[in-house]
Structure 1
Amino acid sequence: MNYKFTIIVPVYNEEDNLERVEKELLAYSKIATQPTTILFVNDGSKDSSQTHIETICNRNENFNYILFKENRGLSAAIKAGFDHTNTELVGYIDSDLQTAPEDFNLLLEHIGEYDLVTGVRSNRKDSFVKNMSSKIANGIRRSFTHDGMDDTGCPLKVIKTEYAKRIPMFKGLHRFLPAMILLQEGKVIQISVQHFPRIAGTAKFGVWNRLLGPLMDCFAYLWMKKKYINYQVAKKS
Structure 2
Amino acid sequence: MTQDAAPALSVVVPVFNEADNVRPLVGEIVTALRGRIGFEIVYVDDASRDGTLAILDALRAEVPELRVLVHASQSGQSTAIRTGVRAARGAWIATLDGDGQNDPADIPLLLRERDAAPATLKLFAGWRTERRDSGSKRWASKWANAIRSRLLRDDTPDTGCGIKLFEREAFLDLPYFDHMHRFLPALMQRAGWQVKSVPVRHRPRAAGCSKYNNLQRAWVGLRDLRGVAWLIARSRRTAVRELGAP
TM-score, normalized by the shorter chain, greater than 0.5: yes
Aligned counterpart, 1:148: 155
Q: Shift of residue 29 of structure 1? A: 2.2
Query: For 2:179, which of 166, 172, 178 is the aligned residue?
Result: 172
Aligned counterpart, 1:50: 53
Q: Which runs of 5+ in 2 are unaligned?
A: none
Query: For 2:140, which of 130, 133, 138 is the aligned residue?
Result: 133
Return the alpha-carbon distance in structure 2 between the equivalents of residues 52 and 87 of structure 1: 24
Matched AA of 2:33: S
Aligned counterpart, 1:70: 73
Aligned counterpart, 1:30: 34
Q: What is the TM-score with the length of structure 1 in the denominator?
A: 0.93
Instruction: Point out 4+ residue stretches in structure 1 off by more than 3 angstroms.
Output: 226-237
Aligned counterpart, 2:112: 109
Q: Secondary structure at the match of 1:39?
A: strand
Give per-residue Cα distances to partners, 1:83-137, cap 9 Å, x unaligned: 1122110110011111110101111112242210011112111110000000101
Q: Establish whether residue 100 from structure 1 lines up as the match of residue 100 from structure 2.
A: no
Percent identity among equivalent residues? 29
Q: Which runs of 5+ in 1 are unaligned?
A: none
Q: What is the TM-score with the length of structure 2 in the denominator?
A: 0.90
Return the alpha-carbon distance in structure 2 between the equivalents of residues 201 and 219 of structure 1: 32
Counterpart contact for 1:111–1:160, Cα < 8 Å: no
Please give the root-mean-square deviation of Cα atoms over the aligned residues, in Å.
1.8
How many residues in Structure 1 have an aligned counterpart in Structure 2? 236
Return the alpha-carbon distance in structure 2 between the equivalents of residues 59 and 232 of structure 1: 48
Return the alpha-carbon distance in structure 1 between the equivalents of residues 107 and 192 of structure 2: 24
Query: For 2:89, which of 80, 86, 89 is the aligned residue?
Result: 86
Counterpart contact for 1:97–1:198, Cα < 8 Å: yes
Aligned counterpart, 2:215: 208
Q: Secondary structure at the match of 2:93?
A: strand
Aligned counterpart, 1:189: 196
